[in-house]
Amino acid sequence: MKKIKWVLLILIALVALVIFVGMPYMKEQTKKNSPEITNSYTKNGMDLSINYSGPFKKDRIIFGELVPYDAVWRTGANEPTTFSTAKDIKIIDKTLAAGTYSFWTQPGKDSWKVIFNNEIPDWGVTILSGGKETTRNPETDVVVVQVPSEQTTTVQEQLSITFEDSEQLYLVLSWDRTKIKVPINE
């Protein structure tokens, strides 16, 4: 009985070590390769921000290989990308209430599905799948829209998610030779 208690104590200590030391260390190391980036837009009464970790291309084929077509992607590295708005806005023609959301995409060859979800999971993918399976709960999607993708002539080495404001405000994602523009309206 005494041996079982010691084994249990050792197991508890090992689990605690992994949770409190190993996981924070792993997150810190992954952010060296995919730094955390926050971009904001604060004009015309809007207060928007996008927070993501931006991986680099590193001579890889990104869309269709590293990021498969027709599968939901956590859209970035490390923790899920988050999108925040201080007031209700429209993504194309769908209302997105003020708040913070996880931001997911489903890349396709010609168009992408863009997803705003109410839940923000810790990591966004399952470790056992090697990052191929997301932990997104589709039942908590609040806005899902389809946008066309375009091919660019220049290579974007690091994933970039920014705001572009000309006559229309867009959330713009570009990486490798692919770009999508998500219209944002009041």
- Three-state DSSP class for 151? strand
pLDDT tens string 87-105: 999 999 999 999 999 999 9
Amino acid at 42: T
pLDDT tens string 25-73: 555 545 556 789 999 999 988 999 999 999 999 999 999 999 999 999 9
Pairing type for strands 141-165 and 169-185 reads antiparallel
pTM of the predicted model as reported, rounded to 2 decimal places: 0.81
Distances (CA, A) of 38 to 48, 54, 84, 160: 10, 10, 11, 10
| b/e burial code for range 53-75 (CB count within 10 A of at least 16 → b) | bbbebeeeebbeeebeeeebbbb
High-pLDDT (> 70) share of the chain, %:
82
Distances (CA, A) of 24 to 21, 54, 73, 118, 120: 6, 19, 23, 25, 18
pLDDT tens string 124-146: 655 555 556 677 889 999 999 99
